[in-house]
Chains A and B, each alone.
Chain A
Amino acid sequence: MDFRLSEDQEALRDGVRSFCEGRVPVEMLRELEQKPGLDRALWSELAEMGVFGLRLSEDDGGVGLGMADAAVVFAELGRRLVPGPLAWSHLAAGLVEGAAQGSAVVGGLDLLGVLGGPHLVEHLESLDALLVLRPEGVFRIDPAHLEARTVAVPLDPLTPVHHVTRLPEGELVGTVEEARRLRLEGGALASAMLLGIAEATQELATEYAKGREQFGRPIGGFQSVKHMLADMFVRQEGAGAAVYAAGATLDDPGVGDVMRAVSAAKATAGEGALRNALACIQVHGGMGYTWEVPAHYYLKRSWVLENVFGTVGEHEERIAEILAAST
């Protein structure tokens, strides 16, 4: 056992991080929110880096890595708020032609688990294919065949949504087992992005608290603020351990219960991201309530990711069921 990131994983993390820092800076998010539609050039570059084909075997044109590696990559994408149906396109690699290469942008709708209200689909106008997870299996739907209404004001300015009013049956492309597997893996990927948000908001708030002075000293020197930041760090550490444990367990199911590990990751990282994003706004004071400071993007993305592949509450209940079954 060595639970630390391997040297390869550290290199992978550093590579994706420096790409995101150069290619998706905060200024770019502001530009992206002005113009609708996905940045296809960015999407191709992400594909070239292996974001979508990461777990596809090398024979199939992928990189041949595992879920733990994918968690490392998606934590970085989450940290930089990279927009787009990242998790779905990653899951679609090998299932939808062109997904791994970035030539096909694939989105999805998860109808397994507890249904959370109306059918809202993210990034619909940019999609080449839509995957739907149903109790009967995985279905592929041509986005042109949907009846949907654009939501004029989405919660997350970087996640446009459509309200789908008629969802055709589509073409069965995967078994019930595959649908369940995709949902588990999607949960792990979403957890990783939430982890990235938990880390980024802690760092953003800490930097601000070091520079912002009141009463003649940095506000980070006041225990009331310092302790909030310490709690943010603790949440980030707990989320990190849970997310990487889920990745490692998906790669080697012999070391634990895969369902429980993914649920623990989604619950812990979901709460960590949301609470850290809220605390980040609070630490920024009045500026935290403005559009100008990027703290609100993180909060809104946390809420978006909370509502994919099972909410915190749903996963908590699932863990309780697993626990009850074993006592």
Chain B
Amino acid sequence: MDLRYSDADEKFRQELRAWLAEAVPAHGAPPPYSDWEARRAHDTGWQRKLFDAGYAGINWPSAYGGRDASLTEQLVYYEEIARAQAPYIGVNFVGMLHGGPTLIAEGTDLQKEQHIPRILRGEEVWCQGFSEPGAGSDLASLQTRAERDGDHYLVSGHKIWTSFAQCADFCELLVRTNPDAPKHKGISWLVMPMDLDGIEIRPLPTLMGEGEFSEVFLENVRVPVENRVGEENDGWRVTNVTLRFERGTAFASEMYHLQQILAGMVELARRITRDDATAWEDRTLRREVGHLAAQLDALWAMVKLSVSETAKTGVPGLGASAIKLFYSGVYQQVGELGMRLLGRAALSREDVAGLPCQRTIGRAMQSLSLTIAAGTSQIQRNIIGERILGLPREPR
């Protein structure tokens, strides 16, 4: 039960911190959400800087150009990235955390050669084509059809919640290659170039009114068979490989960053006056902040425990579901706290009277996606109930 970072970890921290101290301010503020071209340039530009400095693919094998950092160095990396408020992974998310790791584990030599170095350098952006209107939590019931036509698949269907579709070069696409097999046994995993004919992108504004994701309509899109990752109809297994990476440390920086967000709330509470006192003088509010801070400390300790376990076993454990439930719940409570602190200022999404309305309201709304995306909280509870506690399984 040792929480002390090694001297090597601390040396790594000092180097990274020094680099971030210069690189982060130099990169500038993120562009507006609606400007996809500028967002791509901003996010991939940061990825390139990480690459040049030797920090890209912190957990990727060195054979593929990654840093291959130890798990404790990765923890240091997530802490420092959050501390320096470095640019968010943004449009690089799917390539760096889904597509890239999946190709490393399952791709052919050619697929790896074509994509891995470009993803790592920020030259290639990926989007995710998994969910469909009829296949959300029950992802394996997806209906997008892929029929063999010589050395191509003819793909038709309808994907949804596709982040970064507007600016992506490739899509990790799940298709049904055998409609007669049981639903888990007829799926294949394809790399679809986004410039092919027959792809239509319709933005689907979020409740924030912003174009985070889109619906993607596919009509007889010709995807080369050589773009398939894994065997035909073995895509469900490949999908679980993909999602395993997401369950690891993908959100670790965001978890650590929450501590800074909460510290910001304390500052805000000391500035806001209610009657003749500041909001901070309200004991109930202080206890609420203390409660959230305790939860965040517990969360980071859970991450450290999970990382320690992964270091020995090599695979992120099922405990990741508990971490996600814990994290998403606390984040939403922090979001709500911000709304209550703003009071009537929360009627404005623009900053008013020197209060950070835009940021605070943005977080409160954005946090609502955390209990839905990447496996809803209900699905996480099923996973814990069935796979950890051994309770009877839901119908599948």
| A interface residues (Cβ-Cβ under 8 A, vs B) | 1-6, 9, 68, 206, 209-210, 217-218, 220-221, 223, 226-227, 229-231, 233-234, 237-242, 244-245, 247-249, 251-252, 254-256, 260-261, 263-264, 267-268, 312-313, 315-321, 323-324, 326-327
Contacts and interface: CB of A to CB of B under 8 A. Distances in A.
A230 B389 contact: yes
A327 B381 contact: no
A263 B294 contact: yes
B304 A1 contact: yes
Given A68-B1, A255-B4, A2 B311 contact: yes
A5 B305 CA distance: 9
Among the interface residues A3, A221, A247, A319, which one has the most CB atoms of the partner chain B within 10 A?
A3
A306 to B, nearest CB: 14
B161 to A, nearest CB: 23
Nearest to A242: B298
Given A226-B389, A241-B305, A327-B266, 10 more contacts: A1-B308, A4-B1, A227-B382, A237-B302, A238-B298, A238-B326, A242-B294, A242-B297, A247-B1, A264-B293
Main secondary structure of the interface of A (DSSP, over half): helix
Given A4-B308, A268-B295, A9 B1 contact: yes
A193 to B, nearest CB: 17
A264 B394 contact: no
Interface in B280-299: 280, 283, 286-291, 293-295, 297-299
A5 B1 contact: yes
B287 A317 contact: yes
A69 to B, nearest CB: 8
B308 A3 contact: yes
B365 interface: no
Contacts of A326: 263
Contact of B301 (A209, A244, A254, A323): A244
A241 B325 CA distance: 15
Contacts of A240: 305
A252 B4 contact: yes
Given A226-B391, A233-B384, A324-B266, A241 B298 contact: yes
Contacts of B288: 316
B6 interface: yes
A317 B301 contact: no
Contacts of B308: 1-4
Nearest to A269: B298
Contacts of B323: 237
Nearest to A232: B389
Contacts of A223: 378, 381-382, 394
Nearest to A326: B263
Interface string B1-36: 111111001000000000000000000000000000
A319 B294 contact: yes
Contacts of A227: 378, 381-382, 385
B241 to A, nearest CB: 25
B2 A241 contact: no
Contacts of B267: 327
B297 A245 contact: yes
Interface in B337-396: 378, 380-382, 384-386, 388-394
B262 interface: yes
Nearest to A270: B294
Given A229-B391, A268-B298, A317-B283, A237 B326 contact: yes
A62 to B, nearest CB: 19
A252 B3 contact: yes
B72 interface: yes
Among the interface residues A247, A256, A323, which one has the most CB atoms of the partner chain B within 10 A?
A323
